[in-house]
Amino acid sequence: MAQTSHCKTIADNDPRYEELRSFIHSHENKDGIAMTALQEAQSLFGYLPLEVHKFISKETGVSIAELYGVTTFYSQFNTEPQGQHQIQICMGTACYVKGAQKVLDKVVETLGVEVGMTTPDQLFTLNAARCLGCCGLAPVMMIDDDVYANLDNVSEIPAILDRYRKDTK
Amino acid sequence: MTMQPHGTTAEMNRIATVEELNLLRDKWKAKLETPSGIRVVVGMATCGISAGANQVYEAFRNEIKKRGLDHVVVEKVGCIGMCVYEPIVEIFEDGKEKVSYIHIDPEKAGSIVEQHLVGGKPCDELTLLQLDVKDQSGYVCGKFEDLPFNRKQKRIVLHNCGYINPEDIREYIGVDGYQALAKVITSMTPEETVELISASHLRGRGGAGFPTGLKWKFAARETSDQKYVICNADEGDPGAFMDRSVLEGDPHAVLEAMAIAGYAIGADQGWIYVRAEYPTAVKRLELAIREAKAIGLLGKKILGTDFNFDIKIRLGAGAFVCGEETALIASIEGKRGMPRNKPPFPASKGLWGKPTIINNVETLANIPAIIRNGPEWFRSIGTEGSPGTKVFALGGKITNTGLVEVPMGTTLREVIEDIGGGCPNGKKFKAVQTGGPSGGCLTFDALDVPIDFDQLVALGSMMGSGGMIVMDEDNCMVDIARFFLDFTVDESCGQCVPCREGTKRMLEILDKITSGGAEEKDLDDLYELADNIRQTSLCALGQTAPNPVLSTMEHFIDEYRAHVIDKKCPSKVCKDLLGYYITEACKGCTKCSRTCPVEAIRGKVKEQHYIDQSVCIRCGSCIDVCPFDAIERR
């Protein structure tokens, strides 16, 4: 969360808050609810801005500081809005040994954003994944749920990305 | 993926006695072993799905429905471990040899239905036969079992993966599933159960190889109103995926083992901590728990006894350190996953302060088989100090990538050359990395050492969870060490100074080495830092973080020196140490000079070009575009 003045991106009366509330209260055992609630919130809102932390804190009794500590500890949580398409470059050992760095470099070059960032048009968010678990197909890139395997020839990458640009239009 | 709504939970009655369990087993055993019709199975673990198995599965279903082939069932199964051949489809028919199809797509699925299922004639050109792998007698292998890849394997943990449908509890029951639980809770005391596991000498498959029976004994002798069993399914080693494969292919084996553990130590609640990055595994676990509860194999008064056991799932959120027991516990409690000092060990003070045992997926998957077949059987496999098998995720520069389960004591040479088929493209084997970010690399000299927990430690590496990444002459070992350290720096929880600060400083030195700015003294500093971090870090993550650096320094010090002293990367990986040069093969097509982002390439049309080394940023774009292979790195 940036230190600059915080502007709300999710309206107070957003119906997703109600969903989150009922999720939290459907758990009879409140022990350890913080992380589960954050995971549910992220799947509802796509990211976790300050106001969502405030809401979860009010509903669970866990302090905002503690919640934010959990959010920032785990790599799965985002505090910034995400792009329309999620790009994950597998940087597991098997992929790395087979040239994942070149794949990553090519995507960075093509999109003009670094790992963890979203393109200015909000179309792509680029992430380096730890291991996508399909080591037999290395090196691997995943865009949303589509897997692109054996990317030995990185010059194919710009054309792959273009397909998603067209789909969106 | 589209999950078929499974009618099983609705139509299944609660199993109240062992006799009822046996009846169901006999019925489904018959269905699996002697199917009355044809059984088509599609490998649908993550690797298969990534290669397109979903579309293949749908194609088979649609085609079979369209043609009204009522005697054919199509099922999803887990991974049989041969990632290179995905998507894989196998066809079982009573009285006939199993037929194994590889690299199937929806179109090929159509031909198989037409020719094989309707016409009764297998499409030989789509089966394993197309590979034309012959054994010594000249017989062409038609079954996966015959391939060199499988001949030296022994499957205990992966036994059911790729055979049974993980989304149907009845198939698991049909392969003697839940018989071990039934035996334990109806005919053994908790003490006898712990004794049996101790007698098997099973050691934890998650990394360090701690004796499982001893762990159970510690928790069993605690007195408490509540105890817990945790399954550690936070497979964090980048490059290891055996736990995922077990969860996706045989989830009930893990549930059954957890219930047995619960009975042995006196716990009635289990938790599975699983990576959120494994959505298919999570879905299948959730379904498996629902089915087991519906049928009464989890829940209250299991099989008419007084034993109760329930299992819940907690999703990890991407933190490697959560594979450490105490960090994992903190994470289940909903906190930042930071480890704490031990003792007290989780066996006395674990989840919410209660006695807890934590076993990894592969360890648990061994338990039902050990109980069914006895500890002597288990000890007869593997080596004396490390009985049983180990699953390795074989990856990197190797021909047959995939999951491999071999008896402990198999040599690295057998795994890499006989099973893995060696390095592809005729490249020379350089090293194999085991134990992930906590392990080390083994070189040519270690190839004939039988692998078990103790041998690997003696060689300066460790078993870890079983990632086995093969590297050839094109991989730079300094770069590999840098890769692992980059990972640990990212994953350090930040709690203790040696790990938080020390690993960062080590990474800085490695960056200096790979970019050509290092001096000889840096190598001494690197070694000293590594030694300090190893001795003073709080948890195993920090204590083992220097291992990849130390072991590459031990075996490949010449490569380090080449970077530091000669400013050269012998494997031509470290970009900053490479120059790009245009050879006489250049035809002067100007493609490279037009591509170069910094205009470093000069020369006239149809004449040999040259690269201005003071301008070149070593991006390598020119190599990619040159149609004449006229640019080389050196």
Residues of B in contact with A38 (CB under 8 A): 317
Interface of B with A in 300-319 (CB under 8 A): 314-319
Domains recognised in chain B with CATH numbers: 23-151 (3.40.30.10), 176-379 (3.40.50.11540), 389-472 (3.10.20.600), 477-564 (1.20.1440.230), 579-633 (3.30.70.20)
Contact B409/B429 with Cβ under 8 angstroms?
no
Predicted pLDDT at A8? 64
Predicted pLDDT at B473? 94
Predicted confidence (pLDDT) at residue B192 exceeds the cutoff of 90: yes
CB pairs < 8 Å spanning A and B: 137
Predicted pLDDT at A163? 93
The shortest C-alpha distance from A129 to chain B (Å) reads: 9
Going by C-alpha positions, the residue among B205, B207, B210, B218 that lies closest to residue B257 is B205
The shortest C-alpha distance from B337 to chain A (Å) reads: 8
Predicted pLDDT at B259? 98
CB-nearest to B352 from A31, A77, A135 is: A31
Give the ipTM of the model, two decimals please. 0.87
Predicted pLDDT at B588? 93
pLDDT digits (tens, 9 = 90+) for B215-229: 999 999 999 999 999
Predicted pLDDT at B3? 40
Domains recognised in chain A with CATH numbers: 15-73 (no CATH), 85-168 (3.40.30.10)
Predicted pLDDT at B2? 37
Reported confidence tier of residue B87, pLDDT bands at 50, 70, 90: very high
Q: Do B314 and A131 touch (CB under 8 A)?
A: no
The partner residues of B391 in beta bridges, in order of sequence, read B405
Residues of B in contact with A137 (CB under 8 A): 47, 50-51, 83, 86
CB-nearest to A133 from B84, B278, B470 is: B278
Which of B2, B272, B277 is the best mutation test for A, with the most CBs of A within 10 A? B277
Does B523 lie at the interface with A, CB-CB under 8 angstroms? no
Q: Average pLDDT, stretch A15-43?
A: 90
Residues of A in contact with B338 (CB under 8 A): 73
Exposure pattern of B127-157 as b/e (b: 16+ CB <10 Å)?
bbbeeeeeeeeeeebbebebbebbeebbbbb
Percent of chain B with pLDDT over 90: 80
As a three-state string, the secondary structure of B99-164 is EEECCCCHHHHHHHHHHHHHCCCCCHHHEHHHHCCECCCCCECCCHHHCHHHHCCCCCCCCCCCCC
Predicted pLDDT at A1? 41
Predicted confidence (pLDDT) at residue A169 exceeds the cutoff of 70: no
Mean of pLDDT over chain B = 93
pLDDT digits (tens, 9 = 90+) for B262-278: 999 999 999 999 988 88
pLDDT digits (tens, 9 = 90+) for B585-626: 999 999 999 989 889 999 999 999 999 988 888 888 898 889
Q: Do B469 and A93 touch (CB under 8 A)?
A: yes
Q: Please calculate the CA angle A124-A129-A132 and round it to the nearest 5 degrees.
A: 110
Residue of A nearest to B81 (CA): A136
The predicted model scores a pTM of 0.91
Q: Average pLDDT, stretch B33-40?
A: 89
Going by C-alpha positions, the residue among B318, B185, B339, B243 that lies closest to residue B46 is B243
Q: Please calculate the CA angle A7-A12-A18 and round it to the nearest 5 degrees.
A: 140
pLDDT digits (tens, 9 = 90+) for B284-341: 999 999 999 999 999 999 999 999 999 999 999 889 999 999 999 999 999 999 999 9
Higher-confidence residue of A60 and B621: namely: A60
Q: Average pLDDT, stretch B506-530?
A: 96
Predicted pLDDT at B162? 93
Question: Highest mean pLDDT: which of A117-131, B344-358, B608-622?
Answer: B344-358
Q: Average pLDDT, stretch B17-39?
A: 93
Cis peptide before B87 (omega within 30 of 0): yes
Q: Do B317 and A135 touch (CB under 8 A)?
A: no
Residue of A nearest to B476 (CA): A97
Q: Do A97 and B396 touch (CB under 8 A)?
A: yes
Predicted confidence (pLDDT) at residue B158 exceeds the cutoff of 70: yes
Predicted pLDDT at B212? 98
Q: Average pLDDT, stretch B434-451?
A: 92
Which amino acid, one-letter code, is at A145?
D
Higher-confidence residue of B619 and B498: namely: B498
Going by C-alpha positions, the residue among B370, B233, B373, B371 that lies closest to residue B311 is B233
Reported confidence tier of residue B94, pLDDT bands at 50, 70, 90: confident
Predicted pLDDT at A30? 74
Q: Do B83 and A137 touch (CB under 8 A)?
A: yes
Query: How many other β-carbons are positioned within 10 Å of the β-carbon of residue B126?
Result: 21
Predicted pLDDT at B281? 93
Predicted pLDDT at B11? 55
Question: What is the rounded distance in angstroms from the CA atom of residue B312 to the CA atom of residue A36?
Answer: 12
